[in-house]
Amino acid sequence: MPQGKNKPVYKRILLKLTGESLQGKRGYGIDLATTRAIARELKEVKELGTDIACVIGGGNVFRGLQAAKDGMERVTADYIGMLATVMNSLALQDALERESVYTRVQTSISIDKLAEPYIRRRAIRHLEKGRIVIFAAGTGNPYFSTDTAAALRAIEVCADVILKATKVDGIYSSDPKSNPKAKRFSHVKYMEVLNKRLKVMDTTAISLCMDNQLPIVVFDLTKPGNIKRVVLGENIGTRVS
């Protein structure tokens, strides 16, 4: 429950962004204005005193799973997808630092000219010092999604919650775009997500969160200010716990 008008209910969050969240209305790649807008929202949350870690997908640049379906060798496709997440992470870092927010990018694959390697203790120390940490390159392994990477990193850095940013205002019983009668849930249990195959995160990610009792809040990123609203405890989106 909210503890005050401007007091966050979460001390440490992991924000999971899709790669598409950076593309804006372009439909591909990285839209700098959109990325800058997300950075400004994160700055507002940071000013509340909340520690912020981020994981970004790479779908706006390259979709490894789709490439594999189209005939590319799966491991190669997944590694290219990891590199796409590094590109997005660097773009968000640049936008944040233009807003005077100290930021570090850590990658699960070695790219020492661009970012730090992922080291758990170092990541936690960055968060303690007030820096936003962006985890890039997924888990560093093929066959694992950035959703799974988000769950894993959130658990490792002792985040209070995963904030899953989407284009819709929560979890529905079916696709609300094709079914106007689709029901939006305010709260669902982990097992409901798994049993009903609700499209939230992949099953590995959900299982990790369930095993470690890490809640997930699914919310609409396209509405300005929603990240801050979730952190302040407003009842928006869908909570998985």
Residue 5 belongs to a domain: no
Q: Alpha carbon of 110 to those of 18, 81, 94, 195: distances in Å?
A: 22, 15, 20, 37
Residue 25: per-residue pLDDT: 86
Residue 13: per-residue pLDDT: 98
Angstrom distance (rounded) from CA 200 to CA 193: 7
Residue 7 belongs to a domain: no
Angstrom distance (rounded) from CA 186 to CA 100: 35
Can you spell out the DSSP letters for 12-44? Answer: EEEEEE-GGGGTGGGSSS--HHHHHHHHHHHHH
Residue 6 belongs to a domain: no
Residue 2: per-residue pLDDT: 44
Residue 92: per-residue pLDDT: 98
Q: For each of the chain's 241 residues, which pLDDT tens digit applies?
A: 444 568 999 999 999 999 999 998 888 899 999 999 999 999 999 999 999 999 999 999 998 888 988 999 999 999 999 999 999 999 999 999 999 999 999 999 999 999 999 999 999 999 999 999 999 999 999 999 999 999 999 999 999 999 999 998 999 887 777 888 888 889 999 999 899 888 889 999 999 999 999 999 999 999 999 999 999 999 999 999 9
Residue 173: per-residue pLDDT: 81
Q: Look up tokens 């020492």; give the residue.
A: 112
Residue 190 belongs to a domain: yes
Residue 5: per-residue pLDDT: 67
- Residue 44: closest CA among 231, 215, 216: 231
Residue 3 belongs to a domain: no
Q: Which domain holds residue 64?
A: 12-240
For residue 128, the domain's CATH number is 3.40.1160.10
Residue 164 belongs to a domain: yes
| Total domains, the chain | 1
Backbone angles phi, psi at 171, to 5 degrees: -100, 135
Residue 14: per-residue pLDDT: 98
pLDDT in tens, 59-77: 999 988 889 889 999 999 9
Angle, helix 203-211 to helix 146-156, in steps of 10 degrees? 20
